[in-house]
């Protein structure tokens, strides 16, 4: 029997609908579950329904509108723009067969996921992540590819391409600073919160939130912290850290943020959020070795600035 459950991540609510027994294999969502009567219309972003099939049928759709296959170890996503919906066909890796099909309304508020039993977990998480990124883009929200460490109540994000050492650097912080803890290792959520002063001036607080998605490291914390800095990592034969200029910072955050950037309206929303983000918190370039000294340099640079 199908069951619908609701979840709140970074203040945004969505629902998942599938057979009741399948939720036992989706424990990463459990910390974010909310009661049905706690859902507010102004927070609700999308509803995702699953259809598990014995075999996945792939109709001919012509040439895709867009194909995202930038990294060999990341999913390949084929995007088709139809008259009444978006169709996404997703493969686990760049050169492997399609394992799930997502049919999304043009406003991304309703999603039907088709997959097989074998690939259900991958398909559900991929569909939920994409739906979340697309539907929350207009709300000063960024779904990031980053690792997040919290220390003394303040968070620092580590950005970089796959394999550049984000998880390694996060572990080095945990080793070097006993008070530090891991909020998320791969897919945290950034959200800007406007603050209006008594004289009508608007500033922003940037907070980072845990999510039900955390890459290869199980870390599904329903928690958040204000961001003190964003750090772009690069491997190097030495440890050196410098502040980034705003154009550099913008480019790095954009490359690490999820979104359907081929849609002008979504790109405009991402631009607004990223531009405000890099003006709200400092961003640094850290060229580093995978050693404790790199974590110590990073910490001292951030907190002694």
Q: What pLDDT, on a 0 to 100 scale, did the predictor assign at position 293?
A: 96
CATH number assigned to the domain comprising residue 242? 3.40.50
Quick check: is 88 in a domain? no
The structural domain count of the chain equals 2
Q: What pLDDT, on a 0 to 100 scale, did the predictor assign at position 202?
A: 86
Q: What pLDDT, on a 0 to 100 scale, did the predictor assign at position 13?
A: 98
Q: What pLDDT, on a 0 to 100 scale, did the predictor assign at position 156?
A: 97
Under 8 Å between Cβ of 209 and 9: yes
Q: What pLDDT, on a 0 to 100 scale, did the predictor assign at position 31?
A: 98
Q: Which domain holds residue 19?
A: 2-65+99-138
Euclidean distance between CA atoms 115 and 34, whole angstroms:
26
Q: What pLDDT, on a 0 to 100 scale, did the predictor assign at position 222?
A: 98
Q: What pLDDT, on a 0 to 100 scale, did the predictor assign at position 199?
A: 86
**Whether 296 and 151 share a structural domain:** yes
Q: What pLDDT, on a 0 to 100 scale, did the predictor assign at position 1?
A: 83
**Whether 17 and 133 share a structural domain:** yes
Q: Which of 219, 216, 210, 215 is nearest to 190 (CA)?
A: 210
Q: What pLDDT, on a 0 to 100 scale, did the predictor assign at position 221?
A: 98
Q: What are phi and psi of 275, to 5 degrees?
A: -60, -40
Q: What pLDDT, on a 0 to 100 scale, did the predictor assign at position 230?
A: 98
Which stretches of the chain drop beneath a pLDDT of 70?
70-72
Q: Which of 138, 159, 188 is the last residue of a domain?
A: 138
**Whether 147 and 132 share a structural domain:** no
**Whether 298 and 160 share a structural domain:** yes
Euclidean distance between CA atoms 13 and 162, whole angstroms:
29
Euclidean distance between CA atoms 171 and 31, whole angstroms:
23
**Whether 23 and 12 share a structural domain:** yes
């Amino acid at each position: 029997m199908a069951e619908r459950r609701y979840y709140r991540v970074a203040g945004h609510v969505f629902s998942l609908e599938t057979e009741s027994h399948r939720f036992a294999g989706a424990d990463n969502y459990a910390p974010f579950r909310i009661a049905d009567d706690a859902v507010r219309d102004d927070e609700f972003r999308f509803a995702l329904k699953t259809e598990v099939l014995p075999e996945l049928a792939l109709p001919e759709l012509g040439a895709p509108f867009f194909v995202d296959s930038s990294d060999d170890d990341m999913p390949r996503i084929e995007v088709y723009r139809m008259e009444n919906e978006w169709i996404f066909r997703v493969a686990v890796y760049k050169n492997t067969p399609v394992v799930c099909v997502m049919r999304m309304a043009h406003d991304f508020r309703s999603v039907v996921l088709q997959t097989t039993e074998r690939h259900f977990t991958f398909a559900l998480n991929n569909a939920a992540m994409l739906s979340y990124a697309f539907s929350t883009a207009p709300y000063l929200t960024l779904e990031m590819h980053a690792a997040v460490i919290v220390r003394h109540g303040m968070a620092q994000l580590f950005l970089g391409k796959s394999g550049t050492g984000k998880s390694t650097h996060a572990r080095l912080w945990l080793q070097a600073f006993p008070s530090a803890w891991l909020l998320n290792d791969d897919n945290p959520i950034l959200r800007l919160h406007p603050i209006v002063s008594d004289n009508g001036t608007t500033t922003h607080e940037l907070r980072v939130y845990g999510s039900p998605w955390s890459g290869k490291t199980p870390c599904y914390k329903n928690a958040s912290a204000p961001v003190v800095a964003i750090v772009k990592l690069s491997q190097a034969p030495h440890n050196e850290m410098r502040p980034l200029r705003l154009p550099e910072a913008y480019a790095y955050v954009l490359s690490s943020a999820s979104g359907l950037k081929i849609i002008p309206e979504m790109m405009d929303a991402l631009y607004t959020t990223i531009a405000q983000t890099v003006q709200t918190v400092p961003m640094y370039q850290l060229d580093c070795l995978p050693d404790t000294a790199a974590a110590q340099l990073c910490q001292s640079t951030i907190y002694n600035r």
